[in-house]
Structure 1
Amino acid sequence: MSMVLFASVVRVADGLPLSASTDYEQEKDLQETKRHLKGLSKKLNQFPDRCTLKSGPYNVNFIYSLGVGYLMVCTGNYPNVLAFCFLDELQKEFIITYDSKRISSAVRPYSFIEFDTFIQKTKQRYNSPRSLSTKINLADMQTEIKLRPPYQLSPEDLQAINGFSVRAASKYKGIAPTQMLVPATLPGIVSCVLSVLCGGLNLLRGVHAIESILQVRTYCRDIWTLGTKT
């Protein structure tokens, strides 16, 4: 049976969990997948803003924007379009319900646990697709996914999530990492040249200053020598 199993909302900056669906499922594979989800939540900004990860019999999907990430675990046969419509609904409701200042100032995990009520209701709706009334939204999401499909995270990405390797974020499409090197522009080249010239002038001034000091010391020594002889 295809269904949504778990969902959570996290702060992108540090992975702080803000809310999550109540979970009574103790199946081993699902618990392992949720551990991947926990590690992933701390590194969302290293990946594109819409991704899918295959984890055993389950899929992990996530989106993020405005500093908040929305993640979910579903069965491997759950339709992609429904998964991302589900996440999109969580995102819209969370943005309407909570302001950015309150989100950024949260210090305790699950500070917005009351949002669980909305997650649970939405999960129940999406676990009964025939009862969904959002046919137009589903069509829109289907078009959007075709135009910009979610990035498929690989086993190597999973190793990076678990801390076994370091990935260069620049390989991912649709992401602008804060530490990515970019080609030098003309203003940048001019600035570098001027910096080198200024450094050279300062060095030359320093040499001249040292020469002047040495000359003064030599002159004073000569005067002192003549004075002692007379």
Structure 2
Amino acid sequence: MSAILFASVVRVRDGLPLSASTDHDQNASVHESKKYAKVISKKLERLPDRCSLRRGPHNINFISSLGVGYVMLCSESYPNVLAFCFLDELQKEFITTYETAQINNAVRPYSFIEFDNFIQKTKQRFNNPRSLSTKKNLADMQTEIRLRPPYQVSLHELGVENGLGQKTLTYKGIAPHQRLEPLTLPGIISALLSILCAGLNLIRGFHAIESLLQNDDDLSCIIAFFLGSAACVYQCYLFACITSWRNAKSFLAFGLICLCNMYLHELRSLWQLFFHVTVGAFTTLQIRLRQPQNKSPDYNV
């Protein structure tokens, strides 16, 4: 059957998917062709603004303009003129609905997933050409395609001439920009208290250095003060930034804070020890609670 099977909107500069139709087609051939559409989405910046790729029983057509690309997958027999009219309609609606700044500032995949409603309605109309409005000037599009045919992309240009195999194609561009969940008041308080503890440790450490120079005191106390200060600062770093093994590192930093305070128990009052250990525990809890934001669902794209 001749039909549009899938459509998506992507950002040209990095292939970030902005919106897509949420079809749940389990056909293996369609699923495989969608993978090729994803490859194309990441290479739009290097391709002409109107292209086509033939892949088995399907055609992948796409256009790009103003930093946004529009990709669609359709049956091999679906008319080219209807395919590019469909893409043109998506383009007009998208640039009318969203501002350039919104598009440029998007950091998460499918930030404009609500546009799917328009994609679905338009797809239904174009899958039933008899219901198309007479406003669509198909003759003009047919003339334009005849005068400037879509560039035919080869698999070699995409770097997949030997097929995609079992390679799973997922969007990688968002990882370096992944964000932690928004700051909370307890989290901010814990970070400030950790900085306070680090400062107190530094002050005591420098005083201990002066005492060492005058009275030949124990060097290990100085090391304990500075290690405790470093552990507090590192906890602040873990609270603010994403890193591998983040939770485990926070527990190790808290363990170091506890060991340093145990060693310094003779130089600090019970209340001072309680304050430093409690702040370390509180900050560890806030690091554990402030996790990376969940990735947007894949919507079977």
TM over 0.5: yes
After alignment, is 151-160 or 118-127 more displaced? 151-160
| Residue in structure 1 matched with residue 26 of structure 2 by the alignment | 26
Counterpart CA distance in 2 for 1:85 and 1:58 is 18
Match of 1:35 in 2: 35
Taking only the aligned residue pairs, the percentage that are identical comes to 70
Q: Give 2:79's aligned residue.
A: 79
What is the DSSP-based 3-state SS (H/G/I as helix, E as strand, rest coil) of the residue aligned with 1:82?
helix
Q: Distance in 1 between matches of 2:127 and 2:61?
A: 16
Question: 1:60 corresponds to which residue?
Answer: 60
SS in structure 2 of the partner of residue 133 of structure 1: coil
Question: What value does the CA root-mean-square deviation take over the aligned residues?
Answer: 1.7
Structure-1-length-normalised TM-score: 0.68
The offset of 1:159, in angstroms, is 2.7
* Maintained 8 Å contact 1:20/1:110: yes
Q: Could you say which residue in structure 2 is the equivalent of 1:113?
A: 113
Change (3 A) 1:144 1:152: same
Number of aligned residues: 164
On the 8 A contact 1:40/1:161 being kept in 2, the answer is no
* 1:17 corresponds to 2:11: no
Cα displacement (A) at 1:112: 0.2
SS of 1:15's equivalent in the other structure is coil
CA distance in 2, matches of 1:135, 1:107: 36
TM-score, structure 2 as length reference: 0.52
Query: What do residues 97-129 of structure 1 show as CA deviations (whole Å, max 9, x unaligned)?
Result: 000000000001000000000000000000000
Letter in 2 for 1:3: A
Question: Which amino acid is the alignment partner of residue 143 of structure 2?
Answer: T
Residues in 2 aligned to 1:94 and 1:136: alpha-carbon distance in whole angstroms: 17
1:99 aligns with 2:99: yes
Q: 1:161 and 1:97 mapped to 2: Cα distance?
A: 37
Q: Distance in 2 between matches of 1:162 and 1:121?
A: 36
1:160 offset after TM fit, Å?
5.2
2:5/2:75 contact within 8 Å kept: yes
Structure 2 residue runs of 5 or longer lacking an equivalent are 165-301
Structure 1 equivalent of residue 271 of structure 2: none
Offset, 1:134: 3.6
RCO higher in structure (CA 8 A, sep ≥6) = 1
1:169-206 deviation per Cα after TM superposition (whole angstroms, max 9, x unaligned): xxxxxxxxxxxxxxxxxxxxxxxxxxxxxxxxxxxxxx
- The aligned amino acid for 1:31 is H
Return the offset for 1:6. Answer: 0.2
For 2:128, the equivalent position in structure 1 comes to 128
Structure 1 ranges of 4+ moved more than 6 A: 161-164
Q: 2:134 & 2:162 partners in 1: Cα distance? A: 36
Q: Tell me, in whole angstroms, the C-alpha distance in 1 between the residues paired with 2:6 and 2:134.
A: 21
Separation of aligned partners in 2, 1:162 and 1:72: 23
For 2:176, the equivalent position in structure 1 comes to: none
Counterparts of 2:45 and 2:161 in 1: how far apart (Å)?
12
